[in-house]
Structure 1
């Protein structure tokens, strides 16, 4: 069976095409012929063997077929969206039934893959962690990315009063505006506070969704208002924030929270009301997941290189 795997840890170059045994479904599992597989930043971290004491730990046994999400069909022809702990970069994979959701033909494979990890992340950032209230202001970092573009749209769907997007280029900022942001600004740390406050008509903000960390997170804290919430769900800058202290959180009455979707899926499964809502919004075109590019499975390393090089927008898809 055709698959992409890695036999040592490293960069995108360690991904190689291989012929591997076809998986066998056990009790409570379904064998899925893969139509498309999603690419996630977590795949890159896993292949690199990074964060051995963090969320992507422990290092996986080698050789290993990465990939956490697939669209495909079961033996009976039914179309599914599914979360897998491993094995998505392949012609076929096995998915636990609790992590499978029926997928209508009207929803494209790339759209569906975008709302699984990234969409569920955006939904829970706003609903479960930040607990957004109607009329609140929301700042979304990296708003042209897979999670960010969906967070902008969901913030609008959930009744945000003003949505401020940050992105690294004019093109990406224009995309964020198309997705419903009220303002789009440069997200660099220098001058961050002034740009955000200006975009929010001089007022502090209520919610910030951050996947960058480091100096950007430090600057973002300076823009939170009373009872403001910053939710961190990544650190693409690979820098540590330095401005967080218990006394500051108390004095300023602000909250810094973290979120990672994988433990939630491990506990509850990928299915459920949140994913059903996301797919329904997509089918009704109230939610427009951004598909940034499609690659043949053999070009998986190129997809990773493009993601690392910040040359992409939205969801990247592999086609076996």
Structure 2
């Protein structure tokens, strides 16, 4: 089968199209004939071995696919890697049947990025009606869904940040009340101004570095920052427990795989609700571009350039 493999760690240049044997499902696993592959920012970290879970060479990246099971069901699957291929193996517990009326783009937007947005707002930040919500990278895969969910769930004011006028217009179209430049030198002041001079209640942040530090400084008493990535590859410098105590602030980290072990089928609940909202027309996926499997390097280059919006896909047929 055709696949993309990494044999040395690095940037997009290490993604190499290869021919590999078909995967063989083990106990409790299902073979999937892949229709589309989702590309996530975490894939870029996996390729350079900077992800939370260490990578081992050689590897086939990719954590999500849509496709058909041997019994003909159309599914979206969360994988333990090896998704950049024509066929993939998934644990049966990571399969979700795709409802009628939901396309591959939407299903793949939900399985990682939509579930992340759902968990950030529900479990990490505990959004309450009327609260202000800041969504950094609001035109991206997680951000574009988080903006919509926050509005659906009754946020009082949704403040989007993005790096271009086009992205900010998209965030407003998705329901944000205001959109500001993510390159603002003083993000603390920019967020407070966007919130009518008041401090903000919730920040969803996957940037890291100065953006995180200045966002924490913008939090209201009992405000929460949910941290789920570090696209800048820069660590925040100003997180200090004394400052959190002094301002009654909360900083919550969130790594999606942990949700799979939560009791009560939390991941399944997230997927069910996201699908229901999509079918009802209350939230939608944003297309970020589709590449052939052989063009995986271009997809990673686009993602790392921070110039993309929404969800990027790979087509394994080309």
- The verdict on a shared fold, with TM-score over 0.5 as the criterion, is yes
- The reply to whether residue 131 of structure 1 matches residue 119 of structure 2 is no
Structure 2 residue 109 is matched with structure 1 residue 118: no
CA offsets per residue over residues 92-112 of structure 1, 9 Å max, x none? Answer: 111111100111241111111
Q: Does 1:203 align with 2:166?
A: no
In the other structure, the counterpart of 1:265 is 260
Aligned in 2, Cα 1:234/1:170: closer, same or farther, shift over 3 Å?
Answer: same
Three-state SS of the structure 1 residue aligned to 2:183 is: coil
Q: How many residues align?
A: 315
| 2:298 is the counterpart of 1:302 | yes
**Match in the other structure for 2:217:** 222
For the aligned residue pairs, the C-alpha RMSD in angstroms reads: 1.4
CA distance in 2, matches of 1:293, 1:316: 5
CA contact (8 A) 1:72 1:80 kept: yes
Conserved 8 A contact 1:129-1:259: yes
Alignment of 1:68-83 (within 5 A): 68-83=63-78
TM-score, structure 2 length as denominator? 0.96
C-alpha distance 191-148 of structure 1, shift in aligned 2 (>3 A): same
What's the secondary structure of 2:242's corresponding residue?
A: helix
- SS state at 2:127 partner: coil
User: Contact 2:12/2:44 (CA < 8 Å) preserved in 1?
Assistant: yes
- Offset of residue 266 of structure 1: 5.5
State the match for 2:172 in structure 1: 177
Equivalents in 2 of 1:42, 1:311: separation in Å? Answer: 16
Q: Is the 8 A contact 1:2 1:20 kept in 2?
A: yes
Residues in 2 aligned to 1:301 and 1:27: alpha-carbon distance in whole angstroms: 33
Partner of 1:35: 35
Q: What's the TM-score once normalised by structure 1's chain length? A: 0.95
Q: Which residue of 1 aligns with 2:182?
A: 187
Q: Deviations over 1:232-282 (max 9, x none)?
A: 111111222122111111111111111110222366678511111111111
